[in-house]
């Protein structure tokens, strides 16, 4: 059972992560009258120096340019937030990991590197991101962010930085869908945390799945056969 809460801030690395990984919890929090805000951290896709993997991913999502990809992804997110009854959602404007470049080269030159569990962004850039996260944090809110299952650099960045600045008692971490649905995507440290920390489980309702389906460019790449009901899991001291 979730403790009585008044405010919750959900930090989503990308446009779909909040809906995928804790959409059912968001619906429950809203139904309970809790003030919920969603912050998408990496919401920009502009780049002149894309890796071949990122070009392929963008094209498989139905876009032939970063501009059209940006337009479609942002529209999808607005639809999904509406389906989750979220009025307060914010795009922080940092560039997606697959699109970030430095010195005319991709920071993450392939998806293998992007999912390797290593953060390659320089310290100065990370400080800018940390400063932006600090500027939007509320002192009276529970902070929800990814556990980092799947080892995506963007997920690890959001997790690591928020862990630095949010007291453990105000932290809730969601297991990252779809990566968490494959056992080999977990690290031993994450599995131990899952077993030892308080947790909240919720099966995806039809309403939550509609919010996920709003990401029409992403669902076919995330769920190869079809979208199915799956459980969400949040862990942390803010669960009782």
Query: Hey, what are 74's tokens?
Result: 């942002």
Summarised one tens digit per residue, pLDDT across range 44-84 is 998 788 889 998 888 888 888 888 999 999 999 999 999 99
In a domain, 129, yes or no: yes
pLDDT at 237: 84
In a domain, 174, yes or no: yes
3: phi then psi, degrees, rounded to nearest 5: -60, 155
In a domain, 56, yes or no: yes
CB 17 within 8 A of CB 76: no
In a domain, 110, yes or no: yes
18: phi then psi, degrees, rounded to nearest 5: -65, -45
Q: CA-to-CA distance for 122 and 107, rounded, in angstroms?
A: 9
In a domain, 192, yes or no: yes
DSSP 8-state symbol, 239: B
Please name the helix (run of DSSP H) or strand (run of DSSP E) that holds residue 106, with its range, or none: strand 105-106
SS3 string of 114-133? HCCCCCCCCHHHHHHHHHHH
CB 190 within 8 A of CB 148: yes
In a domain, 47, yes or no: yes
Sign of the alpha-carbon torsion through 105, 72, 230, 228: negative
Please state, as a whole number, how many other Cβ atoms lie within 10 Å of the Cβ of residue 109: 18
Domain that holds residue 74: 7-235
Summarised one tens digit per residue, pLDDT across range 114-143 is 999 999 999 999 999 999 999 999 999 999
For the chain, how many structural domains are there in total?
1
**Residue 227 exposed, middle or buried by CB count within 10 Å (0-12, 13-18, 19+):** middle
pLDDT at 1: 36
pLDDT at 5: 65
In a domain, 95, yes or no: yes
Positions in the chain short of pLDDT 70: 1-5, 240
Please state, as a whole number, how many other Cβ atoms lie within 10 Å of the Cβ of residue 41: 26
> Torsion-angle region of residue 148: left (phi > 0), alpha (psi -120 to 50) or beta?
left
In a domain, 240, yes or no: no
Domain harbouring 196, CATH code: 3.40.50.10320
**Can you give the pTM of this predicted structure?**
0.94
Q: Is the omega angle on the peptide bond into residue 20 within 30 degrees of 0, that is, cis?
A: no
pLDDT at 221: 85
183: phi then psi, degrees, rounded to nearest 5: -60, -35
> Which residues are CB-neighbours of 33 under 8 A, at least 6 positions away?
none
């Amino acid at each position: 059972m979730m403790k009585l809460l008044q405010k919750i801030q959900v930090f989503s690395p990308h446009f779909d992560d909040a809906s995928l990984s804790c959409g059912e919890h968001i619906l429950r929090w809203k139904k309970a009258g809790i003030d919920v805000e969603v912050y998408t951290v990496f919401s920009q896709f502009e780049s002149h120096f894309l890796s071949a993997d990122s070009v392929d991913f963008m094209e498989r999502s139905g876009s032939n340019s970063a501009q059209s990809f940006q337009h479609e992804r942002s529209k999808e997110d607005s639809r999904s937030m509406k389906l989750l009854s979220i009025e307060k959602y914010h795009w922080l404007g940092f560039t997606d990991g697959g699109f970030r470049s430095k010195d005319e080269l991709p920071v993450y030159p392939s998806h293998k590197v992007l999912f390797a569990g290593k953060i390659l962004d320089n310290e100065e850039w990370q400080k800018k991101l940390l400063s932006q996260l600090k500027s939007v944090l509320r002192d009276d809110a529970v902070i929800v962010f990814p556990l980092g299952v799947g080892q995506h650099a963007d997920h690890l960045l959001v997790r690591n930085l928020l862990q630095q600045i949010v007291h453990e008692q105000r932290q809730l971490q969601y297991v990252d869908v779809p990566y968490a649905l494959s056992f080999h995507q977990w690290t031993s440290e994450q599995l131990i945390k899952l077993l030892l920390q308080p947790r909240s489980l919720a099966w995806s309702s039809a309403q939550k799945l509609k919010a996920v389906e709003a990401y029409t460019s992403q669902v076919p790449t995330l769920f190869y056969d079809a979208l199915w009901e799956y459980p969400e899991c949040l862990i942390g001291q803010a669960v009782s």
